Structures are given as C-alpha cells and as structure tokens.
Amino acid sequence: MDTLYEKLRTDNDLSKSALLAMDKWLNDSGDWQPKLRQIVGQLRMLPGNAAQYGVNQTRTVPSPLKDKRIAFLGSSVTWGFGALGESFVDYLAKKDGVVPIKEAVSGTTLVDKNVFSPHDSYVARLQTIDPTTKLDAFVLQLSTNDAKGQAGPLGQISQTDDYDVRTITGAIEFILHYVQETWSVPTFVYTNPYYDNQLYKQMVGRLLALQPKWGFKIIDLYHDSTLPHGGPSLYMADEIHPTRAGYQQKWLPIFEQKLQEI
C-alpha cells in the first residue's frame, strides 16, 4: 500500500468507502495522478478536513431516513472532492442510515459531452444505474462544471418529449423524464451555494422555471445566505467544494430536513 493511501487511512481516519473511492480515483487518473496526489496532500492538511469532522466520527442516530434507498447523480461536489471523498452522501449513510447509490464523477457535466472518458456525462451515467433497482428518491446535482463555458449552451425548455441533451436545459429535462419514467420517485435537485458565475445564476433560474413543469423539489443552497461560499475557510476547500466540516456541520442538516419530504 502506498504512503499517501496509508496516511489517509491513519491520519485522517477516512471511512472505508472513501478510502476505496480515493484509491480508485487516483489509480484511474493516468498522467494526472502526480498532480492529483499533490492536491490530495494539500486537502488533507486543511483544518476542515481534520479527523474530528470525518464520517467515522459521526454518530448514527434514529432517523426517519433509515433504510431509504436514494440515488445521487453528480460530479465532484456529490463525490466529495474537497473532503477527501466524503460528501454529504456519506454522512447521510452513516448518521441517518440512508442506503445510497453514489453515482458521482469529478469534473463531469450534465450536458452529454465526454469530459475525461466516453460516456462520463450525467446523462450517460444515469442510464448505467440498474433500472430494476428499488429507489425511494433521486437527487440530482446542478453542476457548476456546465457553467464554465465548455459544456453547452443553456438551451430552451422543451415543448415536446424531445430533449436536446447537448444543452444544459435539455440534459436536465432528459434526466427528470428518465427518472420519472424509470422509478417514479420523489426527485430533488440541489444547487451549489452562491457561485460568482453568470451562467450558473441563469442555470439556477432555469431550474426554478422547470419546477412547475416537472414537480421536483429544489434544495436551494444558492440563495442560502447562511452557507459559507467564496473561498477557503473551515467549511470550504475552495469556492465550490466543501470540506468535511462543511458537509458535516453545514450541509448535512439541510439535506436531512429536505429529504424527510420523501
């Protein structure tokens, strides 16, 4: 076992699932591995990623979410990039007994475009989830990756059942339609906290416009002034990614409350 993996296992007391996810992520990163190892080394030194904030140090409590099977589709924020692979999904599993399907790949987009490898978009990965899997809810991340100008245009709300997945709106609608047709379960879409990006602001606005059509629930972190944003702090590794402290202390209570609407 290599030195970084061993340090992550002992010094930061990472959960078993996060250790396995981190190991796979690093081993699959090809030429990017040296750079990513450097980044991981920096992340593990952040105060907000101290072991006291980890999943292993989070107590299990009686919860109405116990044994709820929930699929989470997203990218780095759902995966837990700034928190060494431990995101709000893992805290929900440990504290509340949620049974998650965590379909998250860092850097990927809603728009059906290959970012790092073929079929790594949200649209493509959604269709790899076994359609016979029993779900109680579905949670979709409104990706900041799509707002960086390389994914696709915002697009228009469709007037038919034909969704242009090369656009942000079309990809969102395709996903909502697919979830509705495949599982017919309550669907939640969550935003990032405030992100200083004009296209992302438009994406949040489009999400609000889509809600009456599709009837999903929005976990609106973008307009939550109580959440930290804008740069490194105890709770944020950078302007987009929370630390373990951020997920445990700031995000987890919000998701626990909203998901009780299942």
pLDDT in tens, 62-93: 999 999 999 999 999 999 999 999 999 999 99
Confirm whether 182 is domain-assigned.
yes
Please say whether the beta carbons of 199 and 149 come within 8 A. yes
pLDDT at 21: 85
Confirm whether 2 is domain-assigned.
no
pTM of the model: 0.93
pLDDT at 6: 66
Integer Cα distance of 220 and 230 in angstroms: 17
Integer Cα distance of 34 and 87 in angstroms: 23
Confirm whether 213 is domain-assigned.
yes
Res 4 pLDDT > 70 = no
Res 218 pLDDT > 60 = yes
User: What does the pLDDT look like over 90-132, one tens digit per residue?
Assistant: 999 999 999 999 999 999 999 998 777 778 999 999 999 999 9
- The count of domains in the chain is 1
Three-state secondary-structure class, residue 180: helix
Confirm whether 171 is domain-assigned.
yes
CATH number at residue 228: 3.40.50.1110
